[in-house]
Structure 1
Amino acid sequence: MREHSETEQGGPDADGLIVFLNGTSSSGKSSIARELLTLLDEPYFHLPVDAFHAMRSQPQLTPAEVDDTLKRTWRGFHRAVAGMAAAGNNVVVDHVLSEPWRLADCLALFPPHRVVLVGVHCSLEELERREAARGDRPAGLAARQISRVHAHGTYDVECDTSTATPLDCARRIARFLPERPAPTAFQRLRQQHAL
């Protein structure tokens, strides 16, 4: 059995690293994640929230039931990410922090010194162009999310996919990982939320 030692930041070194990509729908998070996995030397798992939504059956539900089901899906997704990291797996997560409770839930669950919070930005004009081209998102979804997704305002590293390619963004993140400063964005956000 592997022994656990304490890191300088105060947690067990068995925890995997969580590279947490936050941005609106169609901002390019999944494209960045795919490129990032090709650049990193250690094994990483890409855990996109869309994959969890895709696993769910699609029965007829009332609007209240839909809201409850979606919230339970997000909460389960957060716990799956936390479990993978607690087992020593490195993960790249793509997420949409468009509701304050989602951030609060992640702050409570994830070891804050092992999270790299990445802001994935994109211009509204480009988001709308991508949304129309994809055809698999409700019209105006990104526009509704854009003011809320980055409302917490704190990141370890940021990129803009309206001016940089997914590979450029992935390279920026990969260069940042070896020398992550402390406190991390998650540590600062936990202090702000008094967790």
Structure 2
Amino acid sequence: MAQVIFLHGASSSGKSTITKTLQERIEKPFWHISIDHLRDAGVLPSARFRNGDFHWADSRAAFFQGFHASLKAYADAGNNLILEHILDTDGWLETLSELLSNHDVFFVALHCPLELLIQRETARGDRPVGSAKRDYETIHIGKRYDIELHSTDGVDVNVERLLCAWRSGSRSSSFVVSTAGFTK
């Protein structure tokens, strides 16, 4: 069974910053997995999506289906993962819960004040304007987490809280409770 630490927060909430520090401090090897890595590595023909040759809406579902399946493959092969992802589409939580059902998933909420999200989104310049606000308003609704962190508490405090909670072995998130309401 692989271990998966799933950081879930709005775009620009600080998931990558926490993940990098967590990866440096955790006592086991963990892969850092993010959609941003694929985008930044040139896996996607991003320039052609931007210039209109291709339409992201036509490719989005297949991209995420493949991404989610790859997470299962990595974990099934025995790799521990720190996953940063935004569950912004109906059904993704259920899909990932099923795909990762044989693994220890520790589900982490990362909250960030809206004003700070907007500031960060603007400063980055690589996110669609308004995506942070949309995420802020929707992505945490109906989710149950093992721990909830606040980006304003700082990276060191958040990583220590996360590690302490993760090491406890206690799990009670949406990934532990099945859709029928029974604990896995």
Q: So what's the TM-score if we normalise by structure 1?
A: 0.83
Pick from 68, 90, 103 the counterpart of residue 93 of structure 2: 103
Q: Does 1:73 align with 2:63?
A: yes
- Of residues 121-130 and 131-140 in structure 1, the stretch that sits farther from structure 2 once superposed is 131-140
Q: How many residues align?
A: 177
Superposed structure 1 runs of 4+ greater than 4 Å apart: none
Pick from 162, 165, 169 the counterpart of residue 176 of structure 1: 165
Q: Does 1:20 align with 2:6?
A: yes
Distance 1:23 1:182 in 2: 19
Matches within 5 A, 1:33-44: 33-44=19-30
Distance 1:73 1:158 in 2: 28
Unaligned runs of 5+ in 2: none
Q: Does 1:186 align with 2:175?
A: yes
Matches within 5 A, 1:1-195: 15-54=1-40, 55-58=43-46, 59=48, 60-62=53-55, 66-111=56-101, 114-161=104-151, 163-192=152-181
1:27 deviates by: 0.5
Pair 84,144 (structure 1): closer, same or farther in 2 beyond 3 Å:
same
What do residues 82-137 of structure 1 show as CA deviations (whole Å, max 9, x unaligned)?
Answer: 11111111100000011122212111201265100000110101101111111211
Work out whether residues 22 and 97 of structure 1, in 8 Å CA contact, stay in contact via their aligned partners in 2: yes
Distance 2:45 2:69 in 1: 20
Pair 100,34 (structure 1): closer, same or farther in 2 beyond 3 Å:
same
Q: What root-mean-square deviation, in Å, do the aligned CA atoms of Structure 1 and Structure 2 show?
A: 2.1
Distance 1:147 1:112 in 2: 31
Distance 1:119 1:18 in 2: 14
Distance 1:88 1:174 in 2: 20
